Amino acid sequence: MPELPEVEVVRRGLDAHVTGRSITAVRVNHPRAVRRHEAGPADLTARLLNTEIVGTGRRGKFLWLVLAGGEALVVHLGMSGQMLLGPVTRTEHLRIATLLDDGTALSFVDQRTFGGWMLADLVTVDGTEVPEPVAHIARDPLDPRFDRDAVVKTLRRKHSEIKRQLLDQTVVSGIGNIYADEALWRAQVNGVRLADTLTKPKLAAILDHATDVMRDALDQGGTSFDSLYVNVNGESGYFDRSLDAYGREGEPCRRCGAVMRREKFMNRSSFYCPKCQPRPRR
């Protein structure tokens, strides 16, 4: 599933091309793509038609287009959603097709149909405008107003695994499974360590490493393990070549040479070094 860097790559691509443009045509090809829009596809189509896009936004993994009139088109990429500009060569997974007033096609392609579009009102939360469905999501580490020390204080009160807390979007948003493993490897902390047993400096270091690794990934276009994640031009990111932990089961740790391990965690896989990131004693 796309995490913060991948969604931010898409947002930047959209922002450069769709801001100031109006939507002149809309076609919903699959009802699941608008299932989160309770009023249905006809309502979404009618309200988008001839509407100007005045900006873009993102918080954590949530992406939206800001529309004239105080609404937002919230885009949930799910596991395989793609926002593409220009002609779509393979149309079997084209879920929503729109046309902008400069003739550019803006398409939502989603092979697994877990993503979708919905219209929502913008609300102000802690001084920032966000779509109403995103109001409960915490700020992410790349947000200029992200308060690392406040998050550290929150984590210090959590009698729960540190990786579970990193994945909790109400604590800190944008960090998914890949970048949690990468941040924990950099901080030399095992993901099953309880957050309230870690010192404030160690928790701060984990958050700093999460910030750094996501910025590194953003610089490389995100992480693509297959063709499902691409930017608005259909191009894959290449940060997967720089991963130190995720997906490296059986390979030597780049720091100490020990064999990397994989374990199940929250219906996901966690990758770590047993020497650099020892499991806590029971």
The two three-digit tokens of residue 112, written as one number: 């697994």
The residues, ordered by sequence, that sit 6+ positions from 163 with a Cβ below 8 Å of its Cβ are: 180, 181, 184, 191, 192, 265, 266, 270
Q: By the 8 A CB rule, do 51 and 68 touch?
A: yes
Burial class (CB in 10 A: 0-12, 13-18, 19+), 168: middle
In angstroms, the CA 276 to CA 257 distance is 10
Which is catalytic among the residues 35, 156, 158, 268?
268
Q: Which residues pair with 187 in a beta bridge?
A: none
182 as an active site residue: the answer is no
Q: By the 8 A CB rule, do 143 and 97 touch?
A: no
141 as an active site residue: the answer is no
In angstroms, the CA 125 to CA 134 distance is 10
Which is catalytic among the residues 3, 6, 71, 161?
3
Q: By the 8 A CB rule, do 78 and 115 touch?
A: yes
263 as an active site residue: the answer is no
Which is catalytic among the residues 61, 95, 139, 186?
61
Helices and strands, counts by H and E, the chain: 6, 11
Catalogue the active-site residues.
Answer: 2-3, 61, 268
